[in-house]
Amino acid sequence: MCQDLMKKMIIGFLLFIPLQIISGQDQIITIQHDTIHCRIISITPTYIQFTQKAEDGNAMDKFILAEQVSTYLRALQPAEIDLYDQTDMQKSKPESKHYFGFSFAKGGRPIGGFWNSAWDQAYLVIGFEYANRKGDREVGVGLNASSTFVFVPITVKSYFGKYIFAGFGLMPGFDPLEGLYIGASLMIGVEYVSKSGFSLSLSPSYRFFAMNLIGNKSNMNYIDIQGPEIQQHAVVSIGIGYRF
């Protein structure tokens, strides 16, 4: 009796293994919640290659893009399951959150409007900046100086895609001739970041300065309105930095 039972268990186990190999297929679940019963051959960050039986019983090699896959179940060995989530396959290198860099800029007040190529009282500005990025938004603070004035830019940038950004900033500062002032800027630019973290950026900006908040008026040209003197400046900046 016991021997007959053991024989049945052994025969059942031997029959179960090939049946499990045949019927224990892998499964690919798409983002549309469709299930593909197949045998997975290979997995890459961009696609999954698998074999699926056609209606005539022949096996066909097929491919599916990784972006179309939600989950797959892969029977590597009996009782072993390889569970996959698309977000794990497509994980990229974490974005660098911190930035430290230097900038070199040429600025001045355009004569006859922003698009005029002639600039009045052109100047060079050297500065440094620290910024912190979360997602597509970056907030930075720095210190910029020329031969005649110093200001502290506080900027907010939004990144569009991999290279393009746009933003605005506030710039409180001091000019020996104009006294204390505050400025605002609108900017757009491009930035390239190497795999090692070094970055190079180019950014034109248009800036407004409310001069002479405290101090004496100078003989510099300005737009005369009630209140502080308002100056308009065009600036082109080149930035060299490191993201980490």
> In which band, very low, low, confident or very high, does the pLDDT at 43 lie, cut at 50, 70 and 90?
confident
The pLDDT value recorded for residue 7 is 55
The pLDDT value recorded for residue 119 is 54
Tell me which long-range contacts 82-85 makes (C-beta under 8 A, separation of at least 24). 84/43
CA distance 3 to 17: 21
**What CATH code would you report for 23-89?**
2.30.30
Residue 201 predicted with pLDDT over 90:
yes
> In which band, very low, low, confident or very high, does the pLDDT at 112 lie, cut at 50, 70 and 90?
low
Instruction: Kindly report the number of other CB atoms within 10 A of residue 18's CB atom.
Output: 9
CA distance 136 to 128: 21
Give the domain ranges of the chain.
Answer: 23-89, 98-243
Contact between 121 and 108 (Cβ < 8 Å): yes
**What CATH code would you report for 98-243?**
2.40.160
CA distance 10 to 15: 9
Residue of 82 and 129 predicted with greater confidence:
129
241: closest CA among 142, 108, 120?
Answer: 142
The pLDDT value recorded for residue 121 is 64
Residue of 205 and 95 predicted with greater confidence:
205
Residue 184 predicted with pLDDT over 60:
yes
Residue 189 predicted with pLDDT over 70:
yes
The pLDDT value recorded for residue 79 is 44
> In which band, very low, low, confident or very high, does the pLDDT at 135 lie, cut at 50, 70 and 90?
confident
Paired strand residues for 142: 129
Range in 86-90, 151-155, 229-233 with the lowest mean pLDDT: 86-90
Tens digit of pLDDT for each residue in 48-105? 888 888 778 788 888 898 888 888 887 664 444 455 555 444 444 456 689 999 999 9
Tens digit of pLDDT for each residue in 5-19? 455 445 444 444 444
Mean pLDDT for the chain overall: 77
For strand 69-77 and strand 35-43, is the pairing parallel, antiparallel, or unpaired?
unpaired
